[in-house]
Structure 1
Amino acid sequence: MKDAAQTIGNLVDHQNTTFIGSVGEDGFPGVKAMLPPRKREGIRTFYFTTNTSSRRVADFRRDSKACIYFVDRRFFRGVMLQGTMEVLEDAEYKEMIWEGGDTAYYPLGVTDPDYCVLRFTAERGRYYRNFSSEDFEIE
């Protein structure tokens, strides 16, 4: 892959689902489909919205190891990023990615105690295409 940031960024930006993996209380991995990231900084940092009361939030508070996966079904390619996930509840981050329609999920608005932000920081990645995979570094 010539330019990981461009190739992976383009793939991510055109998907409407993100798969997020966490380590459960029992030590086994769990995966959940979520909406795409609200914001990303290159291919290192991704921001998602979720419910503070969710199982994933409990998992990440206990063990920050995480992965996110994006798949392009049309061209049968995908990328897995591994790293850490932080649960952010500060007003700064909540306001940064809040959108008007979010009241459907968080009726009390941006200050809803069941609304939080997940910040994923990638450490490494693996890209799949053309029936083969390659590891790449996050720069």
Structure 2
Amino acid sequence: MINPEKTIGNLIDKQNVSFISSIDCKGFPNTKAMLPPRKREGIKTFYFTTNTSSMRVGQYKENENACIYFCDKRFFRGVMLRGTMEVLEDEASRQMIWRNGDTMYYPQGVNDPDYCVLKFTALDGRYYSNFHSEEFNIDELLREQLPESK
């Protein structure tokens, strides 16, 4: 990849579905299709909306290990990011990603008790393209892209 953060970021931004995975009480991965993240900070931090009452939220509260995946089926490319998922229920986090129309899912508005934010923080990942996959560490990848200080 010439610019991994840009390449991966572009792939993510063009998808209308994302996949998130959690670990259940028996230690098995559980994967779910979701809408794309509401906000992302580079390829390290992602924010999703979900129901506080969902099975996934319960699993993340028990075990924060998580994985997210984005797939560009047209060009058969994908990126898997491994890291941790935090469940955020504070007002600032809710406000940050709230959108008009969300009352369709959360009728009581931004303070609906069944509305929360999932914050994913990537540690490492694997990028697949052109029949080749490449593992990377997020922090190392981002350090490599910083211009050298003089």
TM-superposition CA deviations, 1:68-88 (whole Å, max 9, x none) = 000001000000000000000
The Cα of 1:3 is off from its aligned counterpart by: 1.2
Whether contact under 8 Å (1:84, 1:120) holds in the other structure is: yes
| Unmatched tracts of structure 1, length 5 or more | none
In the alignment, which residue of structure 2 is the partner of 1:71?
71
The Cα of 1:4 is off from its aligned counterpart by: 1.1
The normalised TM-score by structure 1 is: 0.98
Partner Cα distance (1:19, 1:8) in 2: 15
The Cα of 1:131 is off from its aligned counterpart by: 1.1
Partner Cα distance (1:35, 1:63) in 2: 22
The Cα of 1:32 is off from its aligned counterpart by: 0.2
Whether contact under 8 Å (1:4, 1:136) holds in the other structure is: no
Identity %: 66
TM-superposition CA deviations, 1:27-52 (whole Å, max 9, x none) = 11000000000000000000000000
Partner Cα distance (1:31, 1:58) in 2: 14
How many residues align? The count is 139
Find the residue that maps to 2:10 and give its secondary structure.
Answer: helix
Find the residue that maps to 1:100 and give its secondary structure.
Answer: coil
Find the residue that maps to 1:8 and give its secondary structure.
Answer: helix
Partner Cα distance (1:137, 1:62) in 2: 25
> Match for 1:130: what amino acid?
N
Find the residue that maps to 1:57 and give its secondary structure.
Answer: helix
The Cα of 1:128 is off from its aligned counterpart by: 0.4
TM-superposition CA deviations, 1:107-131 (whole Å, max 9, x none) = 0000000000000000001000111
Rg: which structure is higher?
2
Partner Cα distance (2:22, 2:65) in 1: 7
Partner Cα distance (2:28, 2:41) in 1: 29
1:45 aligns with 2:24: no
In the alignment, which residue of structure 1 is the partner of 2:145?
none
Stretch of structure 1 that moved more, 128-137 or 58-67:
128-137
In the alignment, which residue of structure 2 is the partner of 1:3?
3
Partner Cα distance (1:136, 1:3) in 2: 13
Partner Cα distance (2:99, 2:114) in 1: 15
| Unmatched tracts of structure 2, length 5 or more | 143-150
